[in-house]
Amino acid sequence: MPDPYRVWLSEVMLQQTGVTTVKPYFEEFTRRWPTVNALAAAPREDVLKAWAGLGYYARARNLKACAQVVAREHGGVFPDTVEGLRALPGVGDYTAAAVAAIAFDVPAGVVDANIERVLARVFAIRTPLPAAKTEVRARQAELTPAKRAGDYAQAMMDLGAAICTPKRPACALCPIADVCAARAEGRQEDYPVRAEKAERPTRYGHAYVAVRADGAVLLRTRPDAGLLGGMSEPPGSEWTATPPAMAPPFAAAWREAGTVVHVFTHFRLELTVWRADVARIDTPAAGWWSAPTALPGEALPSVMKKAIEAAIPGATKRTRRAA
């Protein structure tokens, strides 16, 4: 059977992130931390740094917390039931079902975005998402076989990823085309039906990139609670519905370096970036100076890399440090 640790790690990374993006991260994680016990013992800061750029950063914090629980409370062995897996930090219904089915051959109904699309088309489910998720899960539970449930789940995932694609599905190659109600209607691309999305609001803020004479950049850690929790950033303002007043962390000759835009799931963010070149200042509380060679390896989310790049082009794109 597949290694539960590797199945769990891949499923967490693949949540809302494509395979091409995930692959190098998965390879780095499994090289540095080949077992769940190794990941549990790793400093959290190292885990967050290795995750930087993969997005949805609560996953990284939950990944570390889950590994610690498995190591401490389960002797480094993942539970082999959906219920046991679901009780772990950061493990939701999908991940629990996927790990149970793929790693332990439990007949759990696995539903990811690809399977959701396949079943919405096969059964021509007219209820818009997300309300249709209940019906999709029920259909998947009916179809999941008692044996080789993991093979079935992965086959359905691959079917959605390679053949039953969102646009121009390759119905001529589909092994279940004859039973697809959407194909019979000639409306494959109309499924799954989606509710109209609300317009994303825009929030505004400031990012202050202080550069020391030796090229080091001032960073701090965001609070664990909230968006991008535990990740690194240059000092900045709150993100508000209207542009906030400028309030840099210390007095200096701040000059505007540009504006960066980043789109999160629920809002669009516009950050005005300011740069100050400083010879010597006291390090603000809870902050540190990151040397030019260290900066590319810091736990910087994409939006903060954009902000630093606006002030110091190329600063975060150097070759990542060797582990």
Catalytic residue annotation: 11
Beta strand segments in 196-318, E:
202-212, 217-221, 232-233, 255-263, 268-278, 287-290
Tokens encoding 264: 């999160």
Radius of gyration of the chain (CA): 23
**CB-count exposure of residue 88 (10 Å: 0-12, 13-18, 19+):** buried
Helix residue ranges, H only, 77-190: 82-86, 93-104, 113-122, 133-143, 149-162, 181-185
Q: What are phi and psi of 117, to 5 degrees?
A: -65, -45
119 vs 73: CA distance, rounded Å? 37
Q: Identify the DSSP state of 146.
A: S
The answer to whether the beta carbons of residues 276 and 27 sit under 8 Å apart is no
The label of the residue with tokens 């931390």 reads 33
